[in-house]
Amino acid sequence: MRNKPKWLRAKLPAGPVYHAVNELVETNKLHTVCKSAQCPNMGECWTRGTATLMILGNVCTRSCGFCAIQTGRPPELDLGEPARVADAVAKMGLKHAVITSVARDDLKDGGASVWAATIRAIRHRNPNTAVEVLIPDFQGSYDHLDIVLEAKPDILNHNVETVERLQRPVRKTANYQQSLNVLRHGKKQGFTTKSGIMLGLGETQEEIETCLRDMREASIDIITIGQYLQPTQKHLPLDRWVTPEEFNYWKSFGLEIGFGVIESAPLVRSYYHAEEQSDRYAPKDQSAISA
Ligand code: SF4
């Protein structure tokens, strides 16, 4: 990979809080997207005492061209995982927990029932914690999505990842319109929705603009935009380093076209500073999810 520009230099992992988070994750036999996806913000987030827990194991049934998570045949379901996730959220003292998962296309419901059990376990153990779920597309099944929504997460997050033209090389088993429909479906039921894209994969300026307009048309509330980082030589090549100035431009553009909150900077990831984003987003009508 080409030498990183200075604006992509992230904080190195260190300190007692970092080690405490690491130990908690290990003791509770959990996985984090921070480690599995080689997130550049891991040092900063774990030093602040937050980690993004990844459920349904750490082996994904898909193999997206950009993603560092291990792929293959996942091991058997771990039915004790929801309770251990809830315990870790309590011990980290999170006011806002972000949970994600690998894709489990091998399971009948795509893992939706485990998602729901995890949301409920977190709520039960941590009644004051907001739960943001960064979900897979459940292959477009609204039935499976509804199993997750019935557990009433506070924020429904699903990434579109890239512009429409680049969907196939970037995530060959997913689909741009299907992802937008997942978010539309959540919005129709009154959920706060969130999505994100990476830049630096070969997209044009016009394509970024169209993608943001499409996300706006799908009534997504919160948007994240960050730099693509090639995890290994086997992953999709980097096309360009996007400057902080360009990220600022997309932020202004996003606000102009009506997004409630838009985070756009080189190191932004969909779970990065998620608590601050949700604090800044004031939904107009949360009645559908407050029951
Ligand atoms: S579905 Fe998600 S976890 Fe699986 S390879 Fe794609 S981006 Fe990574």
**Best substitution site from 69, 166, 270 to test ligand 1's pocket, by max atoms within 8 Å of Cβ?**
69
How far is the C-alpha of 254 from the C-alpha of 230, rounded, in Å?
Answer: 26
What sections of the chain are H helices per DSSP? 16-27, 33-36, 42-47, 81-92, 112-125, 142-149, 167-170, 176-188, 205-217, 244-256, 274-280
What homologous superfamily does CATH list for 10-289?
Answer: Aldolase class I (3.20.20.70)
Q: Which residues pair with 266 in a beta bridge?
A: none
- 101 C-alpha to ligand 1 centroid (Å): 8
Ligand 1 is surrounded, with C-beta below 6 A, by 60, 62-64, 67, 69, 71, 102-103, 136, 171
**Best substitution site from 31, 32, 38, 62 to test ligand 1's pocket, by max atoms within 8 Å of Cβ?**
62
- 136 C-alpha to ligand 1 centroid (Å): 8
- 158 C-alpha to ligand 1 centroid (Å): 12
How far is the C-alpha of 236 from the C-alpha of 259, rounded, in Å?
Answer: 29
- Per-chain mean pLDDT for the chain: 92
Mean pLDDT for the stretch of residues 192-214:
98
- 284 C-alpha to ligand 1 centroid (Å): 32
pLDDT value, residue 1: 55
Do residues 156 and 278 lie in contact, with contact meaning Cβ atoms separated by under 8 Å? no
**Per-residue pLDDT at 11 exceeds 80:** no
Which amino acid appears at position 103 of this protein?
Answer: A
Which amino acid appears at position 152 of this protein?
Answer: K
User: In 3-state terms, what secondary structure has residue 217?
Assistant: helix
pLDDT value, residue 283: 55
- Per-residue pLDDT tens over the stretch 67-117: 999 999 999 999 999 999 999 999 999 999 999 999 999 999 999 999 999
Query: CA–CA distance from 74 to each of 60, 104, 107 (Å)?
Result: 7, 8, 10
Which DSSP state fits 60?
A: B
**Per-residue pLDDT at 150 exceeds 70:** yes
Do residues 29 and 5 lie in contact, with contact meaning Cβ atoms separated by under 8 Å? no
Ligand 1, atom 2: nearest CA belongs to which residue?
A: 102
Do residues 194 and 230 lie in contact, with contact meaning Cβ atoms separated by under 8 Å? no
**Best substitution site from 39, 56, 58, 67 to test ligand 1's pocket, by max atoms within 8 Å of Cβ?**
67
Q: Is the pTM of this model over 0.85?
A: yes
What tokens does 254 get?
């996003």
Give first-to-last CA distance, the chain, whole Å: 49
**Per-residue pLDDT at 29 exceeds 90:** yes
- Per-residue pLDDT tens over the stretch 167-182: 999 998 999 999 999 9
Q: Which residues pair with 197 in a beta bridge?
A: 161, 225
